[in-house]
Amino acid sequence: MTNRDNSLTQEERQGLYRTIVTRRDVRSQFVSDPIADDALARLLVAAHWAPSVGFMQPWSFILVQDMAIRAQVKDAFEKASAEAALMFEGERRDQYKTLKLEGILDAPLNLCITCDRDRDGPVVLGRTHIPTMDLYSTVCAVQNLWLAARAEGLGVGWVSILDESRLKTILGLPEKIVPVAYLCIGHVDHFLDAPELEAVGWRKRLPIEELVSIDSLNGERAISPSFLEALRQAQKQAEHGTLGRTEA
Ligand SMILES: Cc1cc2nc3c(=O)[nH]c(=O)nc-3n(C[C@H](O)[C@H](O)[C@H](O)COP(=O)(O)O)c2cc1C
């Protein structure tokens, strides 16, 4: 196989895909070992290297170390999660109550990634017509950090079952700062093979071919049989953790 100057080596490419398909949302497998400063620094810089609208870089990173603050976040989670349980009915509600949906006090570190909607003034290149682009940019930073963490053998869990205004008060965030992601980070004793919600039967991963269309969302034109097969093969590889691997 030729390796053009702008492509990764086969090993690098496989490493990237392996990181993507083995990344997990972690809440039950944290161990208490501290995170080394250099690894944490790499995670934060990886996040900072994310794309952003107009190169706005709207993110900030709050390392939440104080256990008293974390206890307040945990309380906020408990309250929101009790409210959330009531939004489901019957067996779904019973199952919801059995799920562990946060690792706030188990993980050695919590991290809030925020978005400063005013970072580059009111008119931002690229954000002129869709104002939420700065929030999307911040989510790109979250994903960069999540993948970098997986590459370092660190687990990340995203806690979103929180009243946003309560979280802002706990962290002392001003009006224009949005807490985009509240994350729990730490070493893990293992990474699950599949999403926990899939393993417990909450929801399955959708087949990729149902999510791809041509020209419009419900496009008339069918995907070619060969591309359809390629999509299925790639999804199968991802399920086996071998996405991007080519047979020797
Ligand atoms: C925006 C966002 C918010 C999430 N919030 C929570 C949460 O509050 N609690 C939780 O247990 N998982 C949360 N998750 C994790 C998802 O449940 C998880 O990504 C999904 O089940 C797929 O599993 P995987 O990440 O291990 O592949 C969140 C994920 C995202 C992207």
For residue 247, the model assigns a pLDDT of 65
For residue 93, the model assigns a pLDDT of 98
CB atoms within 10 A of CB 214: 11
Q: What confidence category does residue 4 fall into, taking pLDDT thresholds of 50, 70 and 90? A: low
Dihedral pair phi/psi, residue 20, rounded to 5°: -65, -45
Which residue is associated with the tokens 């930073």? 141
End-to-end CA distance of the chain: 11
2, pLDDT greater than 70: no
Q: For residue 117, is it left (φ>0), alpha (ψ between -120 and 50) or beta?
A: alpha
Which of 19, 144, 160 should be mutated for ligand 1, with most atoms under 8 A from CB?
A: 160
Q: What confidence category does residue 223 fall into, taking pLDDT thresholds of 50, 70 and 90? A: very high
Q: Output the pTM of the full model.
A: 0.96
Q: What is the mean pLDDT of residues 25-29?
A: 97
Residues 116 and 118: their CA atoms lie apart, in Å, by 5
- The residue whose C-alpha atom lies closest to atom 28 belonging to ligand 1 is 158
Which of 18, 20, 22, 25 should be mutated for ligand 1, with most atoms under 8 A from CB?
A: 25
219, pLDDT greater than 90: no
- In tens, the pLDDT along 72-103 reads 999 999 999 999 999 999 999 999 999 999 99
Percent of the chain with pLDDT over 90: 93
CB atoms within 10 A of CB 131: 11
1, pLDDT greater than 60: no
Going by the DSSP 8-state scheme, the letter that residue 204 receives in this structure is P
